[in-house]
Amino acid sequence: GVAAKIAPSMLSSDFANLASEAKRMLSLGADWLHMDIMDGHFVPNLTIGAPVIESLRKHTTAYLDCHLMVTNPLDYVDPMGKAGASGFTFHVEVSKENWQELVQKIKAKGMRPGVAVKPGTPIEEVYPLVEGENPVEMVLVMTVEPGFGGQKFMPETMEKVQVLRKKYPSLDIEVDGGLGPSTIDVAASAGANCIVAGSSVFGASEPGQVISLLRKSVQG
Ligand code: DX5
Ligand code: ZN
Model confidence pLDDT, tens digit, residues 165-185: 999 999 999 999 999 999 999
Per-residue pLDDT at 132 = 87
- Integer-rounded Cα Rg, in Å, for the chain is 16
Model confidence pLDDT, tens digit, residues 109-153: 999 999 999 999 999 999 999 998 999 999 999 999 999 999 999
Q: What percent of the chain has pLDDT over 70?
A: 100
Contact 116, 89 (CB under 8 A): yes
Strand order in the sheet with 32-38: 5-8, 194-197, 172-176, 138-142, 112-117, 87-91, 63-69, 32-38
Say yes or no: CB of residue 165 within 6 Å of ligand 1. no
**All domains in the chain, ordered by first residue:** 5-219 (3.20.20.70)
Of ligand 1's listed atoms, the one at least distance from the Cα of 153 is: 14
Band of residue 42 on the pLDDT scale cut at 50, 70, 90: very high
Per-residue pLDDT at 33 = 99
Of ligand 1's listed atoms, the one at least distance from the Cα of 34 is: 8
**Model confidence at 64: pLDDT above 90:** yes
Q: Which residues pair with 159 in a beta bridge?
A: none
H or E segment and range at residue 114: strand 112-117
Residue 130 DSSP symbol:
H
Length of the chain, in residues: 220
Which positions are catalytic? 36, 176
Give backbone dihedrals phi and psi of 114, rounded to 5 degrees, phi first. Answer: -135, 160
Q: What percent of the chain has pLDDT over 90?
A: 99
* Helix pair 50-57, 18-27: axis angle to 10 deg: 60
| Mean pLDDT computed over every residue of the chain | 98
Give the mean pLDDT of 20-35.
98
Contact 180, 199 (CB under 8 A): yes
Say yes or no: CB of residue 196 within 6 Å of ligand 1. yes
- Ligand 2 centroid to residue 101 C-alpha, Å: 23
Per-residue pLDDT at 1 = 56
Predicted TM-score (pTM) of the model is: 0.98
Say yes or no: CB of residue 34 within 6 Å of ligand 1. yes
Per-residue pLDDT at 186 = 98
Of ligand 1's listed atoms, the one at least distance from the Cα of 67 is: 7
Ligand 1: residue whose CA is nearest its atom 10:
149
Instruction: Taking the CA atoms of 146, 147, 153 and 154 in sequence, report the sign of the dihedral they define.
Output: negative
**Model confidence at 220: pLDDT above 90:** no
Per-residue pLDDT at 166 = 98
Per-residue pLDDT at 58 = 98
178 alpha carbon, closest ligand: 1
ipTM (interface pTM): 0.99
Name the nearest CA neighbour of 87 among 131, 147, 35, 29.
Answer: 35
Q: Which residues pair with 117 in a beta bridge?
A: 141
Band of residue 18 on the pLDDT scale cut at 50, 70, 90: very high
Contacts of 187 (CB under 8 A, 6+ apart): 143, 153, 158, 161, 175, 179, 195
